[in-house]
Structure 1
Amino acid sequence: MEIISPQEKDDKLDELADKVYFERKANIHGACVKLLTDNKNFKEEWEDNFKFMNEDIRPHAKVFTVEDGGPLRVFYEPLSKTSIILNCDYYGWVKSIALATIADFFEDYHSEHRRYSVHGSAVDCHGQALAIIGPPGTGKTTLTYGLLLNPRYNYVSDDWFFTRIFVNGVIVYSSEKNSYIRDDIADSWDEYKDLIAEVNLDKKKRGIADVNRLFNGRIRETSNLKAIVLLERDLDDEPFKKLTSKEALNHMKKNDFCNPHQLIKDERKYKLRLKFFKEIFHKIEVYLLNTIETPKESLERIKNIL
């Protein structure tokens, strides 16, 4: 990903203007993100993935994704919150960059109740939420769908959620209308096999799944954050333990905030993210789950936290 200036962004968009065939706006936690693309599949997946935003609303951020015959490249212009993706054949990148772009917007937007984005999942149980946060490949999505096999749990988000910090608590909010699910979820939880068979999968074996079909009647837009499970995969550490706020913060610093989709990584942004997690870890119970056991064994360690 390359940071570019406003003038460089204008020049690139002038070059790409005649390649844009589809335009769609999405409502991501109240902010308007506009997709401009030449890819019909991306347009349709975007419509299935995110909530609709009225076309009269001006965008807070834009994502351009088109083909120009060259290599895969990603550019970002921070002032206008504009991402440009060239020669991408994978919708997962488009989705993640859209969420990262609006996350950057929220970090720069200050209101009475501060809003932050977290690259993690959240499930609800009787109005209280459990968040799962970890580096890629540590089992966040697998554990989330394992918890959701229990009818007591409700789906909030399986990949990215937003927060508002209040004096007496933290509220989590869903980020997407539907889930961009992996087919290998059924490898761990056979109960999803038939439902995933209905999903139109791309070449990465992922596709947009209707969460109402997956979790009929168990969808929640918001919940009160009660506990956080941080993930690691370390053969030399114990499987499960409770962390102090300082230990939790050190884990996040060590793992680059468990977010590979940070568009801006400068000192100011680092301090903002550090301040957010420091504050949230002082308010919320935090556990560390080492996913060196089987998914079922790991699930047993966290299923009753709430």
Structure 2
Amino acid sequence: MVYAVHLIPIREKEEYVERYAPQVRYEVKSEVYGCCIKLLTDDKTVKERWEENFYFISQGIRSHGRLYVVADPGVPEDTVLYDPASKTAFLINISYYGWIKSLALSVAGDVLEDGHGIYSVHGACIDVAGRGCCIIGVSGAGKTTQTYGLLRDGTTRVVADDWFYARIYGKEVFAYGSEKNFYIRADLATVWSAYVDLLALADFDAEGRAVVDLRLVTGKGRILPMTTLRQVFILYRDPEAPLTPRHPSAGETLSLLEENGWFNPHLLVRSPFKEDLRRQFFSALCVAADVVLVNTAGTPEETQRILASLIRG
């Protein structure tokens, strides 16, 4: 993670709005799990990626949160400013769309966390025979690779490949997706050849990524809006540790999550109040779902076999 989030007061937010409003060429409102998130940008490519990525919402609906994605030669690269009061973010000189879409999801997450008891999880979520499984971990541990590997099985369905929202109902935790299409890497087919045809249709950006409609290879019936979480896989990569999966205690899991910032580098606000909300949620998740630590130091196929055996018992 390169950028840092700088929180600003609402009066300063108004100054930035006045500063950047004249250069905004495109305004797009989209639905992110019931929230209306508005993109304001001078970049046509960002606008087009956004429209591919997120669900359409009526442009007459008032926005819950806003993202200004603009260029400004007088500001350092990868600058992120955020006003929690108005839920307005300024992404200045950021070219990587992956950060833009993650920060859009984070703005929606801030709205949902504060007022609706709905929490953000930075990770993938799949469903196998009605059992939801989420895959989280540090960057580079293989979350995306393993998620798409599991999707090669026709009985596996996907809710989200990178970020989902969750809420607690009694003793259960439900997971919900929000993105219409997914942002994937160009090298995916070098690991799993099943995606060669999908990637051949993709329009890749300078970072070697593209927004794609996964339904083209999975079929429409395998993209789910929600599932009930039963398993949590925390991936890590340690060549010195055994590949045997391990079931940590709830206390160990919570400590691991806290130490790693809930495995979410895109959270906009990390106040004591917010951290307490997240601690309560993940504590409930540790009780509702079976948590397994999985070492991905082996080959992708070795990890696939481990995950498949854990999922299918």
What TM-score does the superposition give when structure 1 sets the normalisation length? 0.96
Aligned positions of 1:87-126 closer than 5 A: 87-110=93-116, 114-126=117-129
2:109, 2:118 within 8 Å by CA — same for their partners in 1?
no
1:243 aligns with 2:244: no
Q: Aligned AA for 2:110?
A: D
2:86 to 56, 80, 84: 80
How far does residue 251 in structure 1 lie from its aligned partner after superposition? 1.5
How far does residue 87 in structure 1 lie from its aligned partner after superposition? 1.5
1:156 aligns with 2:159: yes
2:103, 2:266 within 8 Å by CA — same for their partners in 1?
yes
Q: Aligned AA for 1:183?
A: A
Aligned twin of 1:56: 60
1:181 aligns with 2:184: yes
The separation in 1 between residues aligned to 2:94 and 2:177, in whole angstroms, is: 26
How far does residue 226 in structure 1 lie from its aligned partner after superposition? 1.3
How far does residue 184 in structure 1 lie from its aligned partner after superposition? 1.5
Aligned twin of 1:209: 212
Aligned twin of 1:30: 34
Aligned-residue sequence identity (percent) comes to: 40
1:131, 1:227 within 8 Å by CA — same for their partners in 2?
yes
Aligned twin of 2:300: 295
Aligned twin of 1:273: 278
Q: Secondary structure at the match of 2:255?
A: helix
Aligned twin of 2:203: 200
How far does residue 238 in structure 1 lie from its aligned partner after superposition? 2.8
Tell me how many residue pairs correspond in the alignment: 303
Gaps of 5+ in 1: none
2:122, 2:162 within 8 Å by CA — same for their partners in 1?
yes
Stretch of structure 1 that moved more, 97-106 or 228-237: 228-237
1:264 aligns with 2:269: yes
How far does residue 99 in structure 1 lie from its aligned partner after superposition? 0.8
Note the alpha carbon deviations across 1:10-34, whole angstroms, 9 max, x for none.
0011011110000001100111100
How far does residue 85 in structure 1 lie from its aligned partner after superposition? 0.9
1:2 aligns with 2:6: yes
Note the alpha carbon deviations across 1:74-126, whole angstroms, 9 max, x for none.
1101101100011222211210111111111112113xxx2111001011112
Q: Please provide the CA RMSD for this pair.
A: 1.2
How far does residue 283 in structure 1 lie from its aligned partner after superposition? 1.2
The separation in 1 between residues aligned to 2:241 and 2:255, in whole angstroms, is: 15
The separation in 1 between residues aligned to 2:231 and 2:214, in whole angstroms, is: 23
Q: Aligned AA for 1:76?
A: Y
Q: Aligned AA for 2:272?
A: E
1:21 aligns with 2:25: yes
1:155, 1:215 within 8 Å by CA — same for their partners in 2?
no
Q: Secondary structure at the match of 2:154?
A: coil
How far does residue 219 in structure 1 lie from its aligned partner after superposition? 1.2
The separation in 2 between residues aligned to 1:214 and 1:27, in whole angstroms, is: 24
Moved >6 Å (runs of 4+) = none
Q: Aligned AA for 2:14?
A: D
How far does residue 274 in structure 1 lie from its aligned partner after superposition? 1.1
The separation in 2 between residues aligned to 1:89 and 1:146, in whole angstroms, is: 29
1:130 aligns with 2:159: no
Gaps of 5+ in 2: none
The separation in 2 between residues aligned to 1:194 and 1:4, in whole angstroms, is: 45
Q: Secondary structure at the match of 2:222?
A: coil
